[in-house]
Amino acid sequence: MMMMSPPSMRVLCICLLHLAALSTLTSAGNFYKDFDITWGDRRAQILNGGQGLTLSLDKVSGSGFKSKNEYLFGRIDMQIKLVEGNSAGTVTAYYLSSQGPTHDEIDFEFLGNLSGNPYTLHTNVFSQGKGNREQQFHLWFDPTKAFHTYSIVWNARRIIFLVDNSPIRVFNNLESIGVPFPRDQPMRLYSSLWNADDWATMGGRVKADWTKAPFIASFRNFNTDACVVSSGSSSCASKSTNSLQTSTWQEQSLDASGRNRLRWVQQKYMVYNYCSDSERFPQGLPPECKRSRFL
């Protein structure tokens, strides 16, 4: 976990108290209020008065939902419990995305596994319609046995992917060296459970076992502290610049403890990094790969 020194913790507590009193951007989620079920013909179900949601997949169809709001920077948290047992061929996707051929996107995708093998967490960042920035991880826990929190911190300087508040990946704004960064297009939050057995598990060699269907993924405790965009205007634009109203995500980076945790995750649990794949980029690795991933 990311640890703070006592003075930093006191400052954070003071800021959070003011945020609780002043900010209207923070929202503890209700699935009825915050999301629309977009496909699946009743395979997606909102439960417990809006406190939970399940997606299911069978041989006929998967299912999905999207946020009612669009966001331009913020912190998004969701607790997810993934498909249990033999989930080969399935993908549970949880991501931010704009629309169109030059869309931006920030991806968590959980690639199903043959029983006894680990899930693969696939991450990617698209900017101006260009992706190809995949990093993949195994997890240090079984994500099917309990809910775990998957978070996206997105500000003007960087994107941080977090699992149970541990950073696993940072994508910095390097527009200064010509790398496009998602900062102009509002994005909605999407999630879906779908059949990708042509590629998801061992490159498609292991197919979905439909005798195990329906496959079910569960969601709860959606939380957002973000700038909501409506009719072209951001909710953040109308807020005072008083530093007491500044959410921590707006300037969030990694302290020494966070960098150490990131290194630990990447050294022990990263299973693919596009920045190490010279065969894929014979003309040279992308320019952001030359910069430290720990900044």
CA 10 to chain centre: 28
Give the separation between CA 39 and CA 143, rounded to whole angstroms: 25
Give the separation between CA 277 and CA 266, rounded to whole angstroms: 15
Q: Counting runs of H as helices and runs of E as strands, what totals does the chain give? A: 3, 17
3-state secondary structure of 48: helix
Cβ contact 222:31 at 8 Å: yes
User: Quick check: is 109 catalytic?
Assistant: yes
Which of 70, 84, 109, 288 is flagged as catalytic? 109
User: Quick check: is 175 catalytic?
Assistant: no
Characterize the bridge pairing of strands 188-195 and 215-230.
unpaired
Q: Amino acid identity, residue 130?
A: K
Give the separation between CA 27 and CA 139, rounded to whole angstroms: 28
Nearest CA to 120 out of 131, 108, 132, 129 is that of: 108
289: number of Cβ within 10 Å: 17
Q: Give the start-end residues of each E strand in the chain.
A: 26-28, 35-39, 45-47, 52-57, 63-67, 70-81, 90-97, 105-111, 120-126, 135-137, 148-154, 158-163, 166-172, 188-195, 215-230, 233-234, 270-273
Q: Amino acid identity, residue 224?
A: T
Give the separation between CA 164 and CA 150, rounded to whole angstroms: 6
Which of 70, 84, 105, 251 is flagged as catalytic? 105
Which residue is associated with the tokens 């195990």?
A: 212
Catalytic residues: 105, 109
